[in-house]
């Protein structure tokens, strides 16, 4: 079943982000989301070559791990979960697609054709596929055939320069279920502004060719309302949000302001759930990115965050949090609240 076609418009998705959108963060984001404000989540990207390799397999499968807690929350809220994969060989996409469909319970598979990182581009994968459009189409077709799941693509608007018409037109020929257009070229990395006119161009192209591929716009969506406005102006069926959740971890909730207590509660939940799911399997230092996300926009956040950054394990982390909570209890809340 192609769930993409059944989503309300505009729909919102949390972007796949390496070392960020693991099962724990997805669980938190989904549990803070207001009803109907978040429809699709993605895993971190997993190499199909690694997945199919005897030794590599163990190193990469954590990216597809879904906890029972996350599964329950997604189910109760009707949020879809898509596995993102990357590679360069259609045969491997066929085999990996087949195994993922058999062994896991994802609603779809997404192919990364956007990652600009040099060492990956050198492997002719991800954004490098923009330079080999025939191979890109073969990869989509092989993944569809192997998995039988809805297959989507996340990509950019060109490699060195903008070539939306050619590149998105090429992808549409094999009718992916959805295309996320991150409106920057490979060369731009994360710099400059996303050019949303290229999202509009992709939608118009899709319409003129009469395809039913959903088009998601991505790049610099700063708030839920901003995404909603962008969908109206640039006609995107869906919006994908990445770094917007760093600025506001309750991006998909109804709240404009997260009180310090709520931020700290979210931080504590994250620390505890991360420990439950990953202790001994992933480095504690991965959490440091999240300290920056949760601990800001309130009084004394800078020193609290600095203290957290010096911690080396869960016990030390929790101790610093509890000490800060004790100090906070002594201050009236209107003095500590800064609008986000």
Ligand X SMILES: Cc1cc2nc3c(=O)[nH]c(=O)nc-3n(C[C@H](O)[C@H](O)[C@H](O)COP(=O)(O)O)c2cc1C
Known active-site residue 126: no
Beta carbon of residue 148, minimum distance to ligand X (angstroms, whole number): 23
Beta carbon of residue 118, minimum distance to ligand X (angstroms, whole number): 15
Q: Which of 332, 307, 327, 329 lies closest to 317, judged by CA?
A: 307
Among 20, 100, 111, 157, binds ligand X (CB under 6 A): 20
Beta carbon of residue 137, minimum distance to ligand X (angstroms, whole number): 19
Asked whether 38 and 252 are in contact (CB, 8 A), the reply is: yes
E strand or H helix that includes residue 11: strand 11-14
Return the range that interacts with ligand X (CB under 6 A); candidates 109-117, 167-175, 209-217, 318-326. Answer: 109-117
Asked whether 272 and 45 are in contact (CB, 8 A), the reply is: no
Among 220, 237, 277, 307, binds ligand X (CB under 6 A): 220
Beta carbon of residue 46, minimum distance to ligand X (angstroms, whole number): 9
Residue 109's alpha-carbon distances to 81, 141, 221, 227, 282, in angstroms, are 9, 12, 23, 24, 24
Return the range that interacts with ligand X (CB under 6 A); candidates 12-20, 26-34, 71-79, 323-331. Answer: 12-20
Does residue 219 belong to the site contacting ligand X (CB under 6 A)? yes
Asked whether 231 and 10 are in contact (CB, 8 A), the reply is: yes
Q: Name which of 114 and 317 has its Cβ closer to ligand X.
A: 114
Does residue 218 belong to the site contacting ligand X (CB under 6 A)? yes
Q: Name which of 154 and 270 has its Cβ closer to ligand X.
A: 154
Q: Name which of 56 and 72 has its Cβ closer to ligand X.
A: 56
Alpha carbon distance 200, 84 (integer Å)? 24
Beta carbon of residue 64, minimum distance to ligand X (angstroms, whole number): 13
Q: Exposed (0-12), middle (13-18) or buried (19+): which is 295, by Cβ within 10 Å? A: buried
Residue 225's alpha-carbon distances to 79, 239, 251, 255, 331, in angstroms, are 20, 11, 10, 12, 33
Please report, as residue ranges, which positions from 242 to 261 form the binding site for ligand X (by CB under 6 A).
242-244
Provide DSSP, 212-234. --EEEEES---SHHHHHHHHHHH
Q: What are the residues binding ligand X (CB under 6 A)?
A: 15-18, 20, 44-45, 84, 112, 114-115, 154, 182, 218-221, 241-244
Q: Active-site positions?
A: 115
């Amino acid at each position: 079943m192609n769930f993409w076609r059944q989503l309300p418009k505009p729909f919102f998705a949390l972007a796949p982000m390496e070392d960020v959108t693991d099962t724990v963060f997805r669980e938190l984001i989904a549990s803070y989301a207001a009803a109907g404000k978040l429809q699709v989540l993605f895993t971190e990207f997993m190499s199909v070559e690694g997945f199919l390799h005897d030794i590599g397999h163990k190193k990469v499968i954590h990216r597809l791990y879904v906890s029972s807690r996350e599964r329950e929350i997604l189910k109760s809220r009707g949020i879809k979960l898509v596995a993102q994969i990357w590679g360069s060989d259609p045969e491997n996409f066929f085999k990996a697609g087949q195994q993922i469909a058999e062994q896991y319970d994802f609603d779809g598979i997404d192919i990364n054709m956007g990652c600009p990182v040099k060492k990956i581009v050198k492997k002719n994968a991800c954004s490098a596929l923009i330079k080999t459009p025939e191979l890109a189409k073969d990869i989509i077709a092989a993944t569809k055939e192997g998995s039988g799941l809805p297959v989507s693509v996340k990509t950019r608007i060109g490699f060195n320069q903008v070539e939306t018409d050619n590149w998105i037109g090429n992808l549409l020929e094999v009718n992916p279920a959805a295309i996320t257009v991150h409106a920057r070229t490979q060369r731009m990395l994360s710099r400059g502004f996303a050019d949303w006119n290229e999202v509009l161009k992709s939608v118009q192209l899709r319409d003129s060719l009469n395809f039913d591929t959903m088009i998601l716009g991505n790049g610099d969506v700063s708030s839920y309302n901003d995404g909603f406005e962008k969908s109206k102006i640039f006609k995107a069926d869906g919006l994908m949000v990445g770094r917007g959740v760093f600025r506001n971890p309750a991006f998909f909730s109804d709240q404009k302001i997260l009180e310090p207590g709520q931020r700290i509660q979210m931080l504590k939940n994250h620390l505890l759930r991360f420990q439950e799911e990953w202790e001994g399997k992933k480095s504690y230092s991965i959490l440091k990115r999240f300290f920056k996300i949760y601990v800001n926009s309130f009084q004394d956040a800078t020193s609290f965050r600095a203290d957290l950054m010096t911690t080396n394990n869960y016990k030390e982390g929790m101790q610093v949090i509890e000490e800060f909570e004790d100090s906070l209890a002594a201050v009236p809340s209107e003095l500590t609240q800064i609008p986000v």
